[in-house]
Amino acid sequence: MPIITNLSQLDLNGSYSYADYLTWQFDETVELIKGKISLMCPGPNVKHQRLSMQMSGRLFNYFQQKPCQVFAAPFDVRLYDRKKSLFVNEDVTTVVQPDICVICDPNKLDEQGCNGAPDWIIEILSKGNSKKEVKTKHALYAESGVLEYWLVFPYEEVISQFVLDDETGQYQLANSYAGDDVAAPYLFPDLAIDLAELFKEG
């Protein structure tokens, strides 16, 4: 396939695969959602990046002596319906870059990133991308089998915790943390995240 060096070379209404995605070498950051190009917001602001570093640091320390690994964006995660088996790049039509993800199965990791659903995904919302994160990715992560999904609202200083119901294949809101709450993931209940410390600036 030819190398694509400019976004204008692509049809934004076209349909693409991960094999196509690998040929894209332009400055814009994009995700691929079921074959469709999804433009990501411009560079995250200071509040977003501070939260990302704070959470990544806490998770990195927690998982140092454990088999799971934590990764922060930019990091490609290839997703597909967990009821289907897809093995080649041409078959994968969804590639996302979650802000933070935790992967416990080392077989899902390769040189390109993660092939399959992480166990836990954390998205830190920006003012320009909340609709995509709340609606599109909420459904996408459930369909793909991401067991736990956190939405972090920086300006409201709130975390919504969703856990996948294995019977329905849908997320259930497990908790909504705010104020001086201590958040704990369902998958790792001994990991305590103090929201007052997390959202403290400076």
Contact status, residue 31 vs residue 99, Cβ threshold 8 Å = no
Q: Where are any strands of DSSP class E within 40-154? A: 69-72, 76-79, 94-96, 100-103, 109-110, 113-115, 120-124, 148-153
Residue 2 is assigned to a structural domain of this protein: no
Q: For the domain that residue 142 is a member of, what is the CATH number?
A: 3.90.1570.10
Range of the domain at 24: 7-39
Are 16 and 34 in a shared domain? yes
Reading phi first (left if > 0) and then psi (alpha if -120 to 50, else beta), residue 197 is in: alpha
Are 120 and 159 in a shared domain? yes
Helix/strand number for the chain, H first, E second: 5, 14
Q: How many domains does the chain have?
A: 2
The Cα–Cα gap between 126 and 155 comes to 9
Q: Which residues of 117-152 are buried (b: 16+ CB within 10 A; e: fewer)?
A: bbbbbbbbbbeebeebbeebbbebbbbbbbbbbbbb
pLDDT of residue 187: 98
Are 90 and 155 in a shared domain? yes
**DSSP helix/strand/coil, 146:** coil
Rounded to the nearest 5°, which phi and psi values hold at 143? -60, -35
Which residues of the chain, if any, have pLDDT below 50?
none
pLDDT in tens, 90-132: 788 999 999 999 999 999 999 999 999 999 999 999 876 657 6
Residue 1 is assigned to a structural domain of this protein: no
Are 32 and 60 in a shared domain? no
Reading phi first (left if > 0) and then psi (alpha if -120 to 50, else beta), residue 58 is in: alpha
pLDDT of residue 87: 58
pLDDT of residue 35: 94
pTM score: 0.93
Are 26 and 52 in a shared domain? no
Are 161 and 185 in a shared domain? yes
Are 92 and 168 in a shared domain? yes
pLDDT in tens, 168-182: 999 999 999 999 999
Are 187 and 94 in a shared domain? yes
The Cα–Cα gap between 10 and 44 comes to 25
The token duo for 83 is 């009821």
